[in-house]
Structure 1
Amino acid sequence: MKIRAIVTGATGMVGEGVLHECLQHTEVESVLIINRRPSGITHPKLKEIIHSNFFDLAPIENELAGYNACYFCLGVSSAGMKEPEYTRMTYDLTLNVAKTLSRLNSGMTFCYVSGSGTDSTEKGRSMWARVKGKTENDLMKLPFRQAFMFRPGYMHATPGLKNMLPAYKYVSWLYPLFKVILPNFVSTLAVVGQAMINVTLKGYERNILEVKDINKVGNQ
């Protein structure tokens, strides 16, 4: 099986890291990235669509069929956001894209980047965790071939990539220490990308992948 993947969020840190792994992997045949602004990345496998409104995919819908994987790495920080705004940008946006892709690509594996601490009950005190939990729960109800919820913690950046979050520049030197004292909270962007590719090719026993699952699958 050759993977034909759609990657969202490729101008962000996680999406760029996942895209990098896809472009290097021999089982990935082609990659489509959908961005609000140009990524500046060129590669023989890569096609890019610039599209600003993820709530209205109708103008590009005819270009979204024929793929068997989506690695959804698009997201916003909840910092400073009220719940309705964060819900719109996290739950509503993600489900709109996912519903369109599941309708167009019945054999698709959908991988969603959530976060460590996500609340599957949707009832906890943490606003972001409740919204992410609802997003995960409803994604798993869609008619994808497979759907996997990735809950990474700290992700060590891939050397040479450009979209590292500012805070990571100040803490990345602590990565060797994090690996020792917080082994179930730490992975790398490379491992996250490899894990998405591996679950697409081989499946996994759980739909929700915590950090230890991500590291297990990504290092196969």
Structure 2
Amino acid sequence: MRVLIFGATGMVGQGVLRAALMDPGVEIVQTIGRTPTGAEDRKLRELIHPDLFHFAGLEQELSGFDACFFCLGVSSAGMAEEEYRRVTYDIAMAAAGTLSRLNPQMTFIFVSGAGTDSTEKGRLMWARVKGATENALMRLPFGASYMFRPGFIQPVHGARSKTELYRFLYMALRPLLPVLRRILPSYVLTTEELGLAMLRVARVGYARRVLETRDIRAVLTI
């Protein structure tokens, strides 16, 4: 399997990248982003591309992939809806529109979040934008597309959030995570579990196109 990862320098992307590099069934892992990942592996190729809104001229570099894991995302804190939509919806659709044309057989997996609003009419701005992004992605002519909606994500194996507030939150909750995983198993995943589940779905699919945390956990038992 040849896979493409967007957002490999983020916390979720770091977990997916590690899982893909360790998977013997993955032949090529290509990341695309504004900065290098810092990882080194014989399977790894890195495409540094500053303008993630436009992909003209990159057809050759973006062709021939079986799966794309789109892990790119930002916190909506302090952002106006128009700005958040631009960096969430517009970038995802620019990338996915190009990839669906170049790789129509591809499985495209988008990392969204628990609470995403599929109606696009709810009170929470970020949830509306994520919902609109999911809906638009599922209309594209991919071989298959899946929306992952994890809840709380525990970083493991050195994965680290770029957002200072999230880093503080993870450190504060660290002593409580074993308890949270026991009493709230439907809300807590590790970056490793998320990466492994995405690879599994890319290979064998899943009954639902939108996967909540309980579905993501169920994938790991298939």
**For the superposition of Structure 1 and Structure 2, which TM-score range results when normalised by the shorter chain?**
over 0.9
Opposite residue 146 of structure 1, the aligned amino acid is A
Q: What does the per-residue CA deviation read over 1:85-118, in whole Å, with 9 as the maximum and x for residues that have no partner?
A: 0011101110110000000001100000000000
Aligned to 1:64: 62
- How far the C-alpha of 1:219 sits from its partner, in A, is 3.9
Aligned to 1:87: 85
SS of the counterpart of 1:49?
A: strand
Partners of 1:110 and 1:119 lie apart in 2 by 20
Aligned residues: 218
- In the superposition, the TM-score normalised over structure 1's length comes to 0.95
- How far the C-alpha of 1:191 sits from its partner, in A, is 1.1
Q: What does the per-residue CA deviation read over 1:168-219, in whole Å, with 9 as the maximum and x for residues that have no partner?
A: 2332332111112222111111111111111111110000000000011034
Partners of 1:93 and 1:219 lie apart in 2 by 33
Contact kept? 2:2, 2:66, Cα under 8 Å: yes
Q: 1:171 aligns with which of 165, 170, 173?
A: 173
Q: 1:107 aligns with which of 105, 113, 123?
A: 105
Partners of 1:219 and 1:13 lie apart in 2 by 24
Aligned to 1:38: 36
Matches within 5 A, 1:15-34: 15-34=13-32
Gaps of 5+ in 1: none
Q: 2:215 aligns with which of 208, 213, 216?
A: 213
Matches within 5 A, 1:131-170: 131-163=129-161, 165-166=166-167, 167-170=169-172
Partners of 1:12 and 1:117 lie apart in 2 by 20
Partners of 2:90 and 2:212 lie apart in 1 by 23
Contact kept? 2:159, 2:191, Cα under 8 Å: no
Contact kept? 1:195, 1:219, Cα under 8 Å: no
Q: What does the per-residue CA deviation read over 1:45-99, in whole Å, with 9 as the maximum and x for residues that have no partner?
A: 1000111111111142320000010000001110000000001110111011000
Percent identity of equivalent pairs: 51
Partners of 1:135 and 1:116 lie apart in 2 by 14
Partners of 1:219 and 1:194 lie apart in 2 by 11
CA-atom RMSD in angstroms:
1.3
Opposite residue 68 of structure 2, the aligned amino acid is C
Aligned to 1:188: 190
SS of the counterpart of 1:191?
A: helix
Partners of 1:161 and 1:199 lie apart in 2 by 22
SS of the counterpart of 2:196?
A: helix
Gaps of 5+ in 2: none
